[in-house]
């Protein structure tokens, strides 16, 4: 039980860090559409943290089986249409997406590793859902990062060989 509590505490911290990063990126964006998309991502991370903390509390009380998985939604494909967002600064956007890719990749790996360390089916189920969410974020971010990288190369008047 202790290892599950430690995993859930770390997961909550990870989601809080994601929330803070996306909020900071939104506040530093110069256009409304980007701000709204980044704020939405931040709110998703906040919701993930709330699910984790709720399961933590139930687990700590010995009632993890009462966790309501109906409240936990699965991610929808292509959460955001990043290509439709105007970018105020390709270099800044490239940096945000680069960090986002790394954060989402680390989240997927953390949740996969955590799943291997737990025997509790409720923790495993929540981790599977979070893996799906973070994997979707990762795929969306990676796709947009690749597009931005090409745009940045074009702006610099060179392209990779």
Tens digit of each residue's pLDDT (9 = 90 or more) over 54-97: 999 998 998 888 888 888 876 655 545 555 444 557 777 788 88
N-terminal to C-terminal alpha carbon distance within the chain: 53
Question: Which string of DSSP letters, residue by residue, matches the chain?
Answer: -HHHHHHHHHHHHHHHHHHHHHHHHHHT-SSHHHHHHHHHHHHHHHHHHHHHHHHHHHHHTT-GGG--GGG-PPPPSS---GGGS--S-HHHHHHHHHHHHHHHHHHHHHHHHHHHH---HHHHHHHHHHHHHHHHHHHHHHHHHHHHHHHHHHHTT----
Domains within the chain, CATH numbers bracketed: 2-72+83-155 (1.20.1260.10)
pLDDT at 124 over 50: yes
pLDDT, mean over the chain: 85
Average pLDDT in the 98-106 region? Answer: 93
Q: Is the pLDDT of residue 1 over 80?
A: no
- Cβ–Cβ under 8 Å, residues 87 and 155: no
| pLDDT-derived band at 47, boundaries 50, 70, 90 | very high
pLDDT of residue 139: 92
Overall average pLDDT of the 99-108 stretch: 93
């Amino acid at each position: 039980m202790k290892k599950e509590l430690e995993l859930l505490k770390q997961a909550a911290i990870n989601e809080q860090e994601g929330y803070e990063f996306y909020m900071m990126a939104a506040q530093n964006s110069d256009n409304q559409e980007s701000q709204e998309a980044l704020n939405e991502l931040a709110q998703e991370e906040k919701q993930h943290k709330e699910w984790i903390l709720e399961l933590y509390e139930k687990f700590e009380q010995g009632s993890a089986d009462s966790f309501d998985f109906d409240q936990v939604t699965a991610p929808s494909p292509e959460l955001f249409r990043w290509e439709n967002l105007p970018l105020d600064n390709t270099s800044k956007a490239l940096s945000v997406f680069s960090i986002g890719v790394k954060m989402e990749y680390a989240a997927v790996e953390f949740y996969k590793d955590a799943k291997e360390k737990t025997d509790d089916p409720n923790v495993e189920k929540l981790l599977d859902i979070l893996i799906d969410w973070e994997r979707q974020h990762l795929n969306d971010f990676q796709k947009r990062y690749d597009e931005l990288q090409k745009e940045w190369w074009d702006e610099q008047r060179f392209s990779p060989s």
